[in-house]
Structure 1
Amino acid sequence: MVIGLEIHCELGTKSKIFCSCPTEFGAEENAHVCERCMGMPGTLPVLNKKVVEYAVKAGLSLNCKIANYSKLDRKNYFYPDLPKAYQISQYDQPLCIGGYLDITKENGEEKRINLTRIHIEEDAGKLIHEDYQTLLDNNRCGVPLIEIVTEPEIRSAEEALLFAETVRNNLLTVGVSDCKMQEGSLRFDVNLSVMPEGSSEFGTRTEMKNLNSFRSLKRAIEYEYKRQVKAVEKGERIVQETRKWDDEKGKSFSMRSKEDAHDYRYFPDPDLVPIILTDEEIQKYKEEMPELPDAKKKRFIDEYKLSEYDAGFLASSIEVGNFFEEAIKDTKNIKSVANFLMGDISAYLNSNELEFSDIKFTPSNLAKLVNLVDKGDINLSTAKKVLSEMFESGKDAEEIVEEKGLKQMNDTGEIKAIVEKILNDNPQVVEDLKGGKKKAGGFVVGQVMRQTKGKANPGIVNQLINEILGL
């Protein structure tokens, strides 16, 4: 399998790349348009300076060389969703040159994926097909994009997925895009070919465009690889073409023959001056860069003694990493905070299809929950219930425990009476315990927890069982 990725990312500027129309998602159709982004005769584009800044920072996050001189070009072919019928992009002199990202695979193997370039361009509009007609929403015309192009060095769906996820995390960290795939802010094009093992001659590639989820990316790669292998083994010729991925059917379908660069008839845009950046300007952008996920992961391992997996998870998102570091200011139990973020909190967000930014409680509140468990005021089972209530109401952990009377029973005398009664009522369990059957202890603890509505301290229950039976 030989894969090259093209990742299209909408930049999070307030206005479009060549005009002052807003870029906000979800507006009424054709509300965010003007003469410039509609390509009316006599109008001139003006480059948004913020687009250049964001593209440079994206490039720096992916180890690119930033060009002191780059230019904008016209890319020509039939665009049903671009009113002026050409796209302003960059051809032979892009803003960001080269670059690379290191990924770590599941087996621990590290691999470097090199980039060819990152260039800026404008997005096209959106075609809506319904009731035997095609409607055109031009709101997205002129929204600024960067296109991240890799070398054909990816050799599996796993590598493609890891690379795409790492790119997304870096872009979110530097704050150049919201990367919301469901809104089209991040889209993947897959160029894929197959060749015999040991060969160095690439096969004919196909391109699958506009994959807008990691799941689609993985499934599309796996399907297209099998399709091509099957065709080659039958002696069929692979055609260079653009294919559409149908996520519902789990298949790709031929759309059109794939163009080469000369088919686009690129030429420098006569209405736009070159982009010239001094070394001082590039250095200023470098100094404004935040800590990137890979550096943060290494720091988390060194500073907080976290495992590589835990550090990688917490550092992968700027929101999660910041939440974690704020929370551990108010508790000594770093590992417990990490466990809640990776476990219950992550599971709740996924099952309810929520973003991390939707969390209503504060990092300090999570720290309070951890401290309540550590002090023995509540057990872990109760903590999970409290956390669920925190998600719903945003209330303080201590307040929820007080309001609902969830404080753990630590009164040895009260718990002892309950344990003794359960042991007296279950002589077989007593025999099993004395015979070394540890599962019987779980039965007793379960009965105590049921009678105390989950409030009894499990540690005290186990201690009392051993004391009463002289174990």
Structure 2
Amino acid sequence: MSQGSMRFDVNISLKPKGSDELGTRTETKNLNSFRFMEQAIHHEVERQMDILEDGGRIVQETRLYNGDRDESRSMRTKEEANDYRYFPCPDLLPVEIDDAFIEEARASLPELPDERKARFKEQYSLNDYDAGALSGEAKLAAFFEETVQHGKDAKLAANWIQGEFSARLNAEEKSVADSPISGAQLGALVVRIADNTVSSAGAKKVFEALWTGEHTEVDAIIDEKGLKQVSDTGALESMVDEVLASMPEQVEQYQNEDNPKKRKKMLGGFMGPLMKASKGQGNPKLFNEILVRKLGE
């Protein structure tokens, strides 16, 4: 194609609407562009329709198409198969394939994307979108399954692979095979997110350290960077009490608000000071539960 030597042959035959039997075929040869191919198809369809509608018959022939004039002409007729010079090749022996061979070949095929998508939906309870996104490429699918094997939570693993992991690959124009993070490492991080050892913000810092090769062990990164969430309810309640005591006006506004949506939004005003008080290590979910309880007292 880059050398200007690409050529197309187009074969056209028509049939009446509702019929299963095609009419006589014509062949248009030596088309050298997609545009000319499209034009030649339209031209030949119209030509054959005009002939058939006038009660004529289509001659089996080879035609040439002039794209500049949008016209075609007969090059030569081909009445029988012999005109096409068909003949058996003496060097090719007949091949007989039995059902056992077909089944053996089928069994040796790798898992295809559609089959893998269906399995992901059933085995990991993924929705249609997630299963489709993760099953299309074999290496990405294998990475996902390795992550789930070590991380247990399939949905959380899917979110991280489609989010942070894929974004980083795209930003650095890397393939899954080039990833500096293994599925096992990401799985270990998923475990610590799921058990609330580390927050979402802290998890991104762990991911960054894994990606840059700063460290290879998730737990070690969490310990060294002090990213472990505080989930001790006693300690968290003490922080909530201090923050609420320092924000009497906001507390009064919250308690006087009857709209549930506005009250939920107002809770966010307390979370900033609480995260600051806990040096970013407080468990946001527990903070929220304690806030709702204490503000309702």
Asked if Structure 1 and Structure 2 have the same fold, meaning a TM-score greater than 0.5 normalized by the shorter chain, the answer is yes
- On the 8 A contact 2:196/2:229 being kept in 1, the answer is yes
Offset at residue 278 of structure 1 (A): 4.7
Instruction: Give the structure, 1 or 2, with the largest relative contact order (CA under 8 Å, sep 6 or more).
Output: 1
C-alpha spacing 1:203/1:448, structure 2 compared with 1 (3 Å):
farther
Paired residues for 1:290-301 under 5 Å: 290-301=110-121
Report whether the alignment pairs 1:401 with 2:222: yes
Higher Rg of the two aligned structures: 2
CA RMSD of aligned residues (A): 3.8
Give 2:242's match in structure 1, choosing from 405, 410, 421.
421
Aligned residues of 1:449 and 1:456 also touching (Cα < 8 A): yes
Q: How does 1:187-206 map to 2 (within 5 A)?
A: 191=34, 202=42
SS at match of 1:409: coil
Q: Percent identity?
A: 29
CA distance in 1, matches of 2:206, 2:194: 15
Distance in 2, matches of 1:293 and 1:468, equals: 51
Shift of residue 420 of structure 1? Answer: 2.2
Return the match for 2:161 from 333, 341, 353: 341
**Which of 320, 324, 335 is equivalent to 2:140?**
320
- The residue type equivalent to 1:432 in the other structure is Q
Structure 1 position 292, deviation (Å): 1.0
Whole-angstrom CA distance in 1 between matches of 2:93 and 2:218: 54
Higher strand proportion (structure 1 or 2): 1
Instruction: Give the TM-score normalised by structure 1.
Output: 0.41
* Separation in 2, partners of 1:277, 1:347: 53
* Structure with higher helix content: 2
Kept in 2, the 8 Å contact 1:193–1:202? The answer is no
1:430: Cα distance to partner?
A: 0.8
In 1, Cα distance between the equivalents of 2:244 and 2:105? 70
Deviation of 1:297 after TM superposition, in Å, equals 0.7
2:281 maps to a residue whose letter is: K
Per-residue deviation, 1:416:
2.3
> How many residues align structurally?
223
Q: Is the 8 A contact 2:275 2:282 kept in 1?
A: yes
What CA distance in whole angstroms lies between the structure 1 residues aligned with 2:173 and 2:288? Answer: 39
Secondary structure of the equivalent of 1:377?
A: coil
Is 2:151–2:186's contact at 8 Å kept on the other side of the alignment? no
Mapped contact 1:409–1:456 kept (Cα < 8 A):
yes
CA contact (8 A) 2:120 2:126 kept: yes
Question: Which region of structure 1 is more displaced relative to structure 2, 333-342 or 384-393?
Answer: 384-393
Helix, strand or coil at the partner of 1:406:
coil
Per-residue Cα deviation, 1:192-220 (whole angstroms, up to 9, x for no partner): 6899xxxxx6379xxxxxxxxxxxxxxxx
Q: Which residue is equivalent to 1:109?
A: none
Task: Name the amino acid aligned to 2:292.
Answer: N
Distance in 1 of aligned mates of 2:162 and 2:143: 12
TM-score normalised by L of structure 2: 0.63
User: Which runs of 5 or more structure 1 residues have no equivalent in the other structure?
Assistant: 1-5, 7-77, 81-85, 93-189, 196-200, 205-236, 241-272
Please name the residue that 2:23 is paired with.
Answer: none
Ranges in structure 2 where 5+ consecutive residues have no aligned partner = 10-32, 45-65, 70-89
